[in-house]
Amino acid sequence: MVVETELTDDEVDRIFRALADATRRDIVRRTLTAQPSISELAEYYAMSFAAVQKHVVVLEKADLITKRTQGRTTLVTANPVAIARAKGLLDKYEQLWHSRVTQLDSLLAQESP
């Protein structure tokens, strides 16, 4: 079963933009298998807490992660559905490419009947 992708250009922009940064990709990775708080995440990176928090905001606006406030902490969880959607987009491209090959095939078939 294929994941339904009804994404606007802006949404796709935000998803790929969010993934175009190594720190943010690492945050996605970590939050796929755990639910760290923002300050826990910040310990891993050589930058300020505020910088990490801004990365989390970018990921949240791309819907790649969701935040859940737990007392005074904010737990971060990756959203695999958004990842699957991004993959679905790339799948469309690959299918397009395969269609080119089949078009070429049928063209060759026409040329040598």
Residues at the contact surface with a second copy, assessed by CB under 8 A: 9, 12-17, 19-22, 25, 28-29, 32-34, 78, 80, 83-84, 86-87, 90-91, 93-94, 96-97, 99-100, 103
d(CA 33, CA 62): 19
d(CA 41, CA 49): 9
Q: Smaller CB distance to a second copy: residue 19 or 57?
A: 19
Stretch that binds DNA, among 4-12, 55-63, 84-92, 94-102 (CB under 7 A): 55-63
Count residues near DNA (CB under 7 A): 26
Considering the complex, what minimum distance in angstroms separates the CB of residue 53 from a second copy?
21
Considering the complex, what minimum distance in angstroms separates the CB of residue 97 from a second copy?
5
Considering the complex, what minimum distance in angstroms separates the CB of residue 53 from DNA?
5
Q: Smaller CB distance to DNA: residue 53 or 77?
A: 53
